[in-house]
Amino acid sequence: MRNKYLVIDKEILPEVFEKVLKAKELIRNGKVKGITEAVKKVGISRSTFYKYKDYVFALSEGNLGKKVTISLLLEHETGVLSDILNKISGNRGNILTINQNIPINKIANVSITFDISELMIELDTLMSSIENTDGVIMTNLIAMG
């Protein structure tokens, strides 16, 4: 099976990826008013930012790839979230936080942050397993760090 995620030294990548990360950090830290100001400050277009923002993540040196945050859209049915949490913990992922919004139109938005330092399988394998869980509408890897 092919791995979906790679760790690559930024020195070999086009500068645009680092600029996207800088823009995301400016937004996250509240140093700019919004995306338009952030992209101007780092010197990329809005379209470039939107093209890569969901695919480029920084790994913090101290916790190199040990924490992951995923976002999910789930059907509001008994046991769906429990099944996902069991898949994570059953593979020795340590769940750190769970945030769930009130379901609207029988769909709940959930984010889960968990430690993958002792994960027994590859992250992309776990993500595929979660994506294929009954009641999961959508999954996104939000951050690694």
The per-residue pLDDT for 3 is: 58
pTM over 0.75: no
**100 pLDDT exceeds 50?**
yes
53-62, 114-123, 134-143: least confident range: 53-62
Task: Quote the pLDDT of residue 4.
Answer: 67
Round to whole Å and give the CA distance between 117 and 140. Answer: 20
Report pLDDT for 47: 95
The CA-atom distances, in angstroms, between 79 and each of 18, 73, 95, 136 are: 40, 14, 17, 11
Q: Among candidates 25, 33, 30, which has minimal Cα distance to 58?
A: 25
Ranges in the chain annotated CATH 3.30.70.260 = 67-144
Cα–Cα distance for residue pair 60/38, rounded to 1 Å = 21
Domain 67-144 bears CATH identifier 2.60.120.460: no
Instruction: Report residue 76 as tokens.
Output: 């509001």
How much is the pLDDT for 61? 43
